[in-house]
Every structure is written in C-alpha cells, then in structure tokens.
Structure 1
Amino acid sequence: MSDSSTTAAGDCTEHRTPRTSVTEAEVEALVRGICFKTGPPRRLGVEVEWLVQEERRPQLPVTDDRLAAAYAALRTVPLGSALTVEPGGQLELSSPPAASLMECVGTVSADLAAVRAVLRRDGLALAGIGHDPWRLPRRFLREPRYEAMEACLDRTGPAGRAMMCASASVQVCVDAGHEEPGPLGHGRRWWLGHTLGAVLVAAFANSPMAGNTPTGWRSTRQLRWTQIGPGRAGAPALDVEPRAAWARHVLDAPVMCVRREGGPWEVPEGLTFREWTRSPRPPTRADLDYHLTTLFPPVRPRGHLELRMIDAQPGDDGWIVPLAVTAALFDDPQAAERAYRTVKPLAERALGKPAPHNPLWVAAARDGLTDPELRQAAEDCFDAALEALPRLGATTEVTDAVAAYHDRHVLRGRCPADDLLDRLRGADARAHGKDDLR
C-alpha cells in the first residue's frame, strides 16, 4: 500500500504535522498510538518493485533520459495503484487497501498490464529480481532526501547504494491484528512477521548475483540489509511488548538527516532521535513523521504491518504467490495458528538477536531452502496456505500458482535463485564447450 493509503486500522504517516517541537515522552506516546492500530484484519495490500531494463539487452543500462520519458508517459495512464519511482529508477506500484486477496490481485494485475504496454512501446521491460545481477548501482533521482540518504548510508559501506538503486522487492501489507491475544492478535502477528519472515526470505530468495558474479547468497538483497546495520535496517527486540519495543527503537535509531529549507540537508553522525529531543533545537512532529520513513526494518509498523523481506519475483505474475501465501498465513485463523506452531522452533536459532542480523535470517538469505529446517517449515507453511486460500476466496488460478510453486521449488528445497544459478552454470558450460560443470 502506498504512503498515502491506509488499512482499515490506519497509517502512521497520515496526520497533520504541527511545527511545535516534541519531547521524548511525546514521541514515545505518539509512536505507541499511531503505528499499531488494532482491529479485526480486514485489509490487504502489496507493494511490487521492479527493475526497469532494456527489453532486448537487459545487461545494458537504461539512460536517465529514457527513464524520465517512460515515467512521464506512465503518469498519464490512469491506475488504481500509486506509481512511484525508487532512487535507482526502479518502478513501484503500491496497491490501495483491498477488502480481499482477489481484489488486491485484480487491481495490481490490471495496473501492471497497463504499465508494461507503455514501457514496451519504448523497448523497455520490467524485471522481477531482488538485486540487479549486472549493473553497478546508479542513482536516477536527484532529490534532497536521496542525497542525504546516500551520504548517511555511505558511512557503512557500499551496501546502502545497492539497496537504494539496485534492489527490488514484494512487500505485503497486513492489518496489525486484534488487541486481544490469539492467532490474529497483534502481538502474535508482530512475532510471526519476524519469525515466519525468515521462511519467506528462504522460500522466495531471488537475488544470487551482483556485478555478473554469484555472491554466495541466495538473497543478495537481504545481505545488503544486514550490511547496512541494525540501527537503520534492523528490528527491535521481540521479547518486549510490540508498542514499547518499537517506540524504543524509533527513539534510539540514528537520525538520517535534518531537513532545511533553501539549503542542503544536514546529515548528522551518531545522533539518535532520543538525543535530538534533548537538544537545544528539538525535532517537530513533522521531523518525527519523516524519521519514521527513514527506518527500514524487515517488518515496519505503519498502522498496519509492512512485511519487507521478500525479493522481487520472476515472471509477470510471480508476485502473486508470495502475496497469496502471506495473506493466508496471516489472515486465516487456522493457517495462522499452524504457521505459528511450525516456525516457533526456529526462533531458537535467532539466539535472541533481532532480524535480519541473527543466524536464522542469515541462513535463510544465504542458504535458501537448502537449509533442512527452513525447507521443512516452508513445506508445512505452504500446505497450510493451500488449505486456507479457498476460504479466503482465492480463485483456482491463484491456488494453482501457489501449488505449482510448492511443487517446483519448496518440495525440492529450491528457490528462484537456484534457477538463476542453474542458468548461469549452463551458460558457462556452453561457453566452454561442456555439457555440464563437472
């Protein structure tokens, strides 16, 4: 769902922002109140990101002028989803909140068909892959936000630029859940997002290359998030009540930038938002709202929960499978309970460390479903999702797509990254006149 949209429960960015400063206590109260809006899960959304490539020669970079012309043309096309451009020129479609899985699928599918038709006229295509396998990160957008973001992230190395300019994902948005405990309670859903999230990383890993070379990770995109660091891209501790944990995380996270009118934005080093509230020039409510948009945890509470860990998927409709599986495991009570029981033993492998910087998530991103425990968990979760999808009103086409993915990948301990690596090895073998790589 786009930044301007809300689930039934609301969105933590949709508020008027008075210019008066906020205290540390006010920040904590605001974050607690606006980022977890509880109620029966009724809305679903998806944000699909794509790399934009030359249709005939995808290894070549697309010039800024061609990207700008393509996006100008796309902005004249009526869409049900919000169309935005990422820093490296990636295209993102953010669905409006949908009342059902099939409503969400229908809206985004129609929008993608319209987008592809416009791009095709200029010889461009959308590529569903989690990290650009060929080109170096190159920034397309020249805006103060991204100038500041680049300067901030460069302090931890090149991973930030790769995240900004060379990555793409499928982000599924679900409501925060009931206030009361249970399979659909907000505490359970918060915990499930961070633990089931590792299974989703492994099952849908689709970014094994960078610079035309295998990185040794099935999800290089997740590797980049771990390299950015926990303050910017990490989750809060899961052994603390969700609202308290997130409020503490927001206050202790580093400030990316201090916005200035009519001049360059300041990029402070080592300043937390908590420290800023104690300074002679404390932040305003608008500064808090902006700070929330500069944090990139794997599960981001925005009134609803934004699940950010899934790589972009291959094929025109590949994004539908992770959307359907995630919706089933979160919004069908029986499937949610089964998923919880399935992934609960995996939590021990996290060693109490937040995602994605713990051993469980590292194994998921590096090894995919070659990890035996993650493979078994994925099999059980896909089985639960397939049973639940008819109860959620999924069409035969959607359930068949999930079943096909289950058979082709999950049951074989594979993910799309393995398909990419197989094709690469086959190309290498043919280039050297060999039938295989032995």
Structure 2
Amino acid sequence: MVTRPESTGTETGDDSRPLSVPEACEYVWRSALTDSTVGAIGLELESHVVDLDNIVRPVDWGALDPLPAEVRAAAGTSSVSREPGGQLELSGPPHASSAEAITALRADVDRVRAVTAGLGIGLVPAGTDPLRPSYRTNPSGRYRAMEEYFAATDPAGCGVVAMNSTAALQVNLEAGPRRGWAQRVAHAHRLGPVLLAISANSPWLHGRSTGWKSARQRTWLGLDRRRAGPVLDVRSLANATDPAMAAVAFALGAPVMFVATEHDERAVVRHEVTFEQWARGDVLLDRRLPTVLDLDLHLTTLFPPVRLRGYLELRFLDATPQRWWPAVAAVTATLMDDPIAADLAAEATEGTGALWTEAARDGLSDPRLAEATRRCLQIATDRAPVALAAELEELAELADSGRSPGDLLVERIGKVGPRAALAESAREPRERSVLRGTCTPD
C-alpha cells in the first residue's frame, strides 16, 4: 500500500520540537489519506498459537522468539510478527489484485503452518481464543505499557481480551482518487456490519459460549469509542464530507495511552489526557509538549474499525480458517474496488450501515443483515475473479443457510467438545479445518 508521507507538521523538519494544535491537525489531515488509484490490496492474517501437546496451555514466548529462520523463510513474501498474546501475524505485501494477494498469502500461511507444526506448535485462525485465559506473553515494552494502561482505565477488561485473545483478517485498500474519498470511506463503514456478519467466527471465549457470533468485535465495541469507535458517524454516512478532517477530530480527541521517554521506555498515562489537551499545553506529559514523534506513536494506539493510514485499513473481520478467509477477502475487495459492485452493494446495505452491534451479536440471524448479505454475496460472486469462484460459492451457500464460520464451530463443539475442536483446527490441514468460530467477553 502507499505509505504515509514523511513528517509534514514541522516546517523545520525537526520532529523533536514541540508541536502546536494547528500543526498536529495538519499532520493528521495530510497523512490520513493519499491520492491514489484503486486496485492494490494487502492482506494480513492473525492466528492463535497453541501447543500441540497441551492445547490449553499458553505457549511460552521463547518457543518462537526469536522467530526460527525456517519460519521466516516459509513466510515467503509475507512479514511475520507477534501480537501481545503471542498471536502470529502474516502480513503480505501489496498486490495488484485480490486474486494475487489471496494466492500469495494462502501459500505463505500453508508453508508456515507446516513448519510450526514440526516445532510442535499449531496455528488457529479464529476471531477469539476459545479456551485459554487472556494472558500477555509478548515482553515488548509497548505491550507492557498498553496492558498497564488498560488495567488503569478499563475496568470491564475488554482491553486485555482485545490484546491477548483476538485475531483478525485485515484487508488494506488504496484510498483512491481524492475526489471520491468521502464516498469511499463512508462505503467502507456502510459495508462493515455485513462483512462482519459474514466473517463472524468467535462465539466462544475463556472456555464457554458467549451468545455472540463475534466475541472479537464485541470486545472492541466495549473499548472507549474515542479509541476504537468508527472515525465517521455511522448514523449519518450519507452526509459524510471530508474523512481526513474526521480523522483529525478522532485523533486529537482520543486519550493519550503512553508517552515515549528516554531509553525507549513507555510512560503510561493513567489519567485522561487527550492529545489536543497535551498539544494545547493544558497538561504536560513527561514535563513537555508533544512532538511529531509523539503524534505518530499516539496514532498507533487508535483502533477504529476503518483506520486511515494513507490507505484504508479494514480491521473488523474475524480471522477464519483458509476454507473461508480467501472468500471473505475477495468479497471485501470486490464490493469496495469494483465500481459496479460497489454501487450495487451501496444500495443493498443502505439500511444496515449502523448495525455493528447487531452484526456482532446476532450475525445472519438478523433478517436485515441476512437479506443485505445475500444480495452482497450475489453481487460479489458475479463480479469477483473467476479463480475464486469456488470459494465464493461455498461462502454464499453457508450464508444462505443463515450461518457464518463460527456457527460451524458451535456445531463441532457440540459433538466433540471445545478441546477436541481446538485441537482439530490446530492439527488438520486447511481443507478439513473445523474451528471456524470463537468467543466474546461476559
């Protein structure tokens, strides 16, 4: 994808000097979206890491740290990283089409899965970890500070779950031409509930059923909306104007999570201070005003479902096994980037753009989402790459039955129990993987 421009908020180019509120606004506005051509796509897939000999035991961080050379080699063109709870993420480079991106990432995931299995480690692509407690294994100072921040500000515990027990499929798309930004960003938000309902794969969490189709999304909905809510007002998407200005308001109005100090440490902000308050000088953090570097760090702690990073980062899809995620990615890209499909999908989702809670809780059992999904999948099947036709038809059949991947997990757990279902998903090849759902907090 296109990258964010270099520091534009300081005329001197000195990222260490204090940043004023107007400069902060300009920096976020300029970096939110980049004038580009629609078409390129990047994919990222997270998976929970499990011990194949003891499926319910947290995997020791040292088992994959540093990442063995054979794992990095197996990842091919994808980069490999680790999330707070030890989740393994494969991030593919931009490709010219969804078919190319899906083919490349699928091959990389297959190779990595084979190599980690030889190390006694299984990978489970599911929206939430269905059995194990939410436990941080990544020793990174960033994640340690994030954990401390949530402990001080998030009594419901959603932050700890989001960090350590969730996994997503992320689809990254170009912002497109400047003249179409308002419509394109609004369209991504409008499609969100339907795409979430299609991918919902997290009905279990912490060893029990949650009653939600996507416990992962419920967890993110439970966080401070100033940090994890939508950048645009989903109740008035038809009136959306400049999404970059909405990104400015979102960024400056969000509380600061932590501040970088000397020796690359992170000082947690345990009392509420928005970035605007800091830049205005109402409060001094680390006894100083913020810099561009502080603003860059702050932007990495914001998790809206559609994040503007020069390109569009769609963060609201549950991770699913390889039987399903290629079709989910293809549907998403087609309904966003194919102009005919996008226009038709806009009509199909006109009444469902604000149904984020309903999509996470009820999924395709909500008749409004079921109808919009049926229409969107038909549109995508007609317009998506021919190479992905079989995957799309299978996903459409599943949705027509009123189910998402997570419903299949519920069925399997009912037959063999949660431990056996998790073990099957961790051990079996993608064609026979059964874990297609996970969980939600209480």
Normalising by structure 1, what TM-score? Answer: 0.87
Residues 415 and 13 (structure 1), Cα distance of their counterparts in 2 relative to 1, 3 Å cut: farther
How many Å apart are 1:346 and its aligned residue?
A: 2.0
Q: Which of 74, 79, 103 in structure 1 is aligned with 2:71?
A: 74
CA contact (8 A) 1:17 1:286 kept: no
Report the equivalent of 2:427. none
Q: Which residue identity is paired with 1:405?
A: L
Q: Which of 182, 186, 201 in structure 1 is aligned with 2:181?
A: 186
Map 1:37-48 onto structure 2 (within 5 A): 37-48=34-45
How many Å apart are 1:11 and its aligned residue?
A: 3.0
How many Å apart are 1:265 and its aligned residue?
A: 2.2
Structure 2 distance, partners of 1:51, 1:159, is: 18
Map 1:231-270 onto structure 2 (within 5 A): 231-238=226-233, 239-262=240-263, 264-268=265-269, 269-270=271-272
Q: Which of 394, 402, 415 in structure 2 is aligned with 1:413?
A: 402
Report the equivalent of 2:391. 401
Q: Which of 338, 351, 356 in structure 1 is aligned with 2:344?
A: 338
Q: Which residue identity is paired with 1:22?
A: L
Structure 1 distance, partners of 2:67, 2:31, is: 37
Structure 1 residue 310 corresponds to structure 2 residue 317? yes
Report the equivalent of 2:423. none
Map 1:75-94 onto structure 2 (within 5 A): 75=72, 77=74, 79-94=76-91
Q: Which residue identity is paired with 1:343?
A: T
Structure 1 residue 221 corresponds to structure 2 residue 247? no
Structure 1 residue 277 corresponds to structure 2 residue 279? yes
How many Å apart are 1:336 and its aligned residue?
A: 0.4
Residues 271 and 166 (structure 1), Cα distance of their counterparts in 2 relative to 1, 3 Å cut: same
Q: Which residue identity is paired with 2:400?
A: L
CA contact (8 A) 2:231 2:306 kept: no
CA contact (8 A) 2:330 2:384 kept: yes
Q: Which of 99, 106, 109 in structure 1 is aligned with 2:106?
A: 109
Report the equivalent of 1:160. 159
Task: Identify which range, 318-327 or 127-136, moves more after superposition.
Answer: 318-327
Report the equivalent of 1:11. 4
Report the equivalent of 1:3. none
How many Å apart are 1:247 and its aligned residue?
A: 0.5
Report the equivalent of 1:200. 195
The alignment covers a number of residue pairs equal to 401
Report the equivalent of 2:440. none
Residues 141 and 13 (structure 1), Cα distance of their counterparts in 2 relative to 1, 3 Å cut: farther
Query: Looking at both structures, which has the greater relative contact order when contacts are Cα pairs under 8 Å and sequence separation is at least 6?
Result: 2
Structure 1 distance, partners of 2:273, 2:149, is: 12
CA contact (8 A) 2:319 2:325 kept: yes
Structure 2 distance, partners of 1:17, 1:86, is: 31
CA contact (8 A) 1:44 1:99 kept: yes
Report the equivalent of 2:414. 425
Residues 69 and 174 (structure 1), Cα distance of their counterparts in 2 relative to 1, 3 Å cut: closer
Report the equivalent of 1:370. 365
Residues 160 and 13 (structure 1), Cα distance of their counterparts in 2 relative to 1, 3 Å cut: farther
Residues 13 and 147 (structure 1), Cα distance of their counterparts in 2 relative to 1, 3 Å cut: farther
Q: Which residue identity is paired with 1:262?
A: H
Residues 56 and 195 (structure 1), Cα distance of their counterparts in 2 relative to 1, 3 Å cut: farther
Structure 1 residue 134 corresponds to structure 2 residue 131? yes
Structure 1 residue 22 corresponds to structure 2 residue 19? yes
Structure 1 distance, partners of 2:18, 2:317, is: 37
Provide Cα deviations, 1:318-365, integer angstroms capped at 9, x if missing partner.
Answer: 321111001100111100001111111224xx3xxxxxxxxx111100
Report the equivalent of 1:293. 300
CA contact (8 A) 1:153 1:228 kept: no
Q: Secondary structure at the match of 1:228?
A: coil
How many Å apart are 1:307 and its aligned residue?
A: 0.4
Report the equivalent of 2:432. none
Gaps of 5+ in 1: 1-5, 351-359, 432-438
Report the equivalent of 2:381. 386
Structure 2 distance, partners of 1:373, 1:71, is: 47
Structure 1 distance, partners of 2:61, 2:70, is: 14
How many Å apart are 1:56 and its aligned residue?
A: 5.4
How many Å apart are 1:295 and its aligned residue?
A: 0.2
Q: Secondary structure at the match of 2:123?
A: strand
Residues 27 and 14 (structure 1), Cα distance of their counterparts in 2 relative to 1, 3 Å cut: closer
Gaps of 5+ in 2: 234-239, 421-442
Normalising by structure 2, what TM-score? Answer: 0.86
CA contact (8 A) 2:216 2:318 kept: yes
How many Å apart are 1:267 and its aligned residue?
A: 1.6
CA RMSD after TM alignment: 2.1
How many Å apart are 1:216 and its aligned residue?
A: 1.1
Structure 1 residue 323 corresponds to structure 2 residue 296? no
Residues 378 and 114 (structure 1), Cα distance of their counterparts in 2 relative to 1, 3 Å cut: same
Report the equivalent of 1:175. 174
Structure 2 distance, partners of 1:131, 1:13, is: 36
Q: Secondary structure at the match of 1:345?
A: coil
Provide Cα deviations, 1:51-82, integer angstroms capped at 9, x if missing partner.
Answer: 11133553333223323365565245562111
